[in-house]
């Protein structure tokens, strides 16, 4: 089978280790030493560089590395009308004494008064046109709409604005529809939704915490599938959507464990996405049995390699596990691609490895993909 436009046999989740100059510039901007325009110029320069490095490493799905964000989700979500982030959200993402995780809440009616990601997308498109060969494609990664609900639940949503949660979910889907429409009109054809919550619902401890927030775990996965489906329901046919499931990726740490079985049928049969980017780098993700539910027209980008570790992955072990997964997938290897389990820098701090180690790991991934599928990674 052919791959959806924007998905490649050697793929990645989206974030790259931030250069020191970008982190320093964000600190300077936070302190008032440089303007927002000066910060953006520095980010632009280093985004150009990371585009070239992705191409040199063999990647064809190109992102801006999330260099303009401190957090993979909050920097996007706080730009939606009605969403507030409180706590120590720093421009640089630097951890300091007394730091506590920022808290997201819905303080008013949700709205989309301006595009969030379009300007960043347009710059990346220009950078790819200048630096990349034909065949490379822009990927925009944004947080899944479920990220607005799961962490806080009902208590984090203003009851005066939303006495009924059905209205909240309707409005949340609508603002995502508007953002995707703006991105499409700007030329974007592939969007990845980053979703920790469906994976967290595989973890017994996280399920228990959700029950303590009075969530109904028999219906919540389906509710989230309905939300995501509504959010992407108005996209044109030539805009493809992927979803990335992750159990946490913060400075090489993880937060959840558990195989995909509790959400597998909802994930593969109910979600109207084109591709799944699934964490599978160690035993915490369970076995490949849930892949038996994969419909014939969809693909899974298997996150068998680890962005958390500096050590280069074992090539033979990755090939072995790819072939094991292919035995479970209805379409075999044709339905699979390869990636690391998550980005290298889901927050600005990044994981515990160097930039050179990062690119060495990516070059190995590309080499493995070519061994398995051949030189053309788009087929």
Residue 373: pLDDT over 90:
yes
Q: What is the pLDDT of residue 200?
A: 78
pLDDT at 347: 87
Contacts of 375 (CB under 8 A, 6+ apart): none
Is residue 92 over pLDDT 50?
no
- Three-state DSSP state, 175: helix
d(CA 231, CA 254): 28
Work out the pLDDT band at 253, boundaries 50, 70, 90: confident
pLDDT band at 96 (very low <50, low <70, confident <90, very high): very low
Sign of the Cα pseudo-torsion (309, 207, 101, 90, in order): positive
Of 6, 10, 5, which Cα lies nearest the Cα of 370?
Answer: 10
Please report, for residues 42, 150, 246, 262, the alpha-carbon distance to residue 209 in angstroms, rounded to integers and kept in the order given.
Answer: 42, 11, 18, 16
Set out the domains of the chain in order of their start, with CATH numbers.
20-91+106-373 (3.20.20.210)
Average pLDDT over residues 78-105: 69
Number of H helices, E strands in the chain: 11, 10
Residue 216: pLDDT over 80: no
Full-model pTM: 0.93
* Structure confidence at residue 91 (pLDDT): 41
Pull the structure tokens for residue 214.
């009075």
Q: Token digits for 99?
A: 């730091």
Q: What percent of the chain has pLDDT over 90?
A: 74
Confidence of residue 108 (pLDDT cuts 50, 70, 90): very high
Grouping H, G, I as helix, E, B as strand and the rest as coil, residue 21 is: helix
Dump pLDDT digits (tens) for 289-312: 999 999 999 999 999 999 999 999
User: Would the pLDDT of 90 be above 70?
Assistant: no
Give the tokens for residue 107. 């303080």
157-186 per-position pLDDT tens digit:
999 999 999 999 999 999 999 999 999 999
First to last CA, the chain: 8
In contact, 127 and 47? CB cutoff 8 Å: yes
DSSP 8-class letter at 42: H
Per DSSP bridges, beta strands 103-111 and 61-62 are: unpaired
pLDDT tops 70 at residue 89: no
Predicted local confidence at residue 361, as pLDDT: 98
Taking only the tens place, the pLDDT of each residue in 70-88 is 998 999 999 999 999 986 5
Going by pLDDT thresholds of 50, 70 and 90, the confidence category of residue 214 is confident
């Amino acid at each position: 089978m052919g791959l959806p436009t924007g998905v490649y046999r050697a793929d990645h989740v989206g974030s790259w280790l931030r250069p020191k100059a970008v982190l320093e510039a964000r600190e300077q901007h936070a302190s008032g030493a440089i303007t927002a325009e000066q910060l953006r110029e520095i980010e632009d320069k280093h985004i150009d560089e990371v585009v070239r490095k992705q191409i040199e490493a063999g990647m064809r799905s190109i992102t801006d590395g999330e260099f303009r964000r401190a957090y993979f989700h909050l920097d996007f979500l706080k730009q939606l009308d009605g969403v507030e982030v409180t706590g120590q959200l720093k421009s640089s993402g630097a951890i300091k004494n007394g730091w506590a995780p920022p808290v997201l809440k819905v303080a008013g009616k949700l709205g989309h008064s301006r595009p969030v990601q379009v300007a960043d997308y347009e710059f990346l498109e220009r950078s790819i046109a200048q630096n990349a060969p034909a065949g490379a494609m822009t990927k925009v990664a944004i947080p899944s709409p479920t990220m607005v609900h799961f962490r806080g639940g009902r208590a984090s949503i203003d009851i005066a604005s939303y006495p009924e949660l059905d209205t909240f979910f309707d409005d949340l889907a609508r603002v995502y529809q508007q953002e995707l429409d703006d991105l499409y009109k700007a030329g974007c054809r592939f969007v990845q939704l980053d979703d920790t919550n469906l994976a967290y619902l595989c973890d017994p401890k996280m399920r228990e915490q959700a029950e303590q927030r009075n969530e109904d775990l028999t219906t919540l996965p389906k509710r989230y599938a309905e939300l995501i489906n509504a959010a992407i329901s108005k996209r044109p046919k030539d805009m493809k959507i992927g979803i990335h499931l992750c159990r946490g990726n913060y400075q090489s740490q993880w937060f959840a464990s558990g195989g995909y079985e509790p959400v597998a049928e909802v994930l593969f049969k109910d979600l109207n996405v084109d591709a799944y980017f699934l964490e599978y780098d160690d035993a915490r993700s369970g076995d490949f049995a849930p892949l038996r539910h994969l419909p014939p027209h969809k693909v899974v980008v298997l996150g068998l390699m680890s962005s958390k570790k500096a050590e280069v992955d074992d090539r033979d072990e990755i090939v072995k596990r790819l072939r094991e997964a292919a035995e479970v997938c209805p379409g075999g290897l044709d339905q699979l691609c390869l990636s690391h389990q998550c980005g290298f820098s889901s927050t600005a701090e990044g994981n515990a490895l160097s930039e050179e180690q990062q690119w060495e790991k990516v070059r190995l991934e590309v080499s493995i993909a070519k061994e398995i599928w051949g030189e053309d990674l788009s087929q």
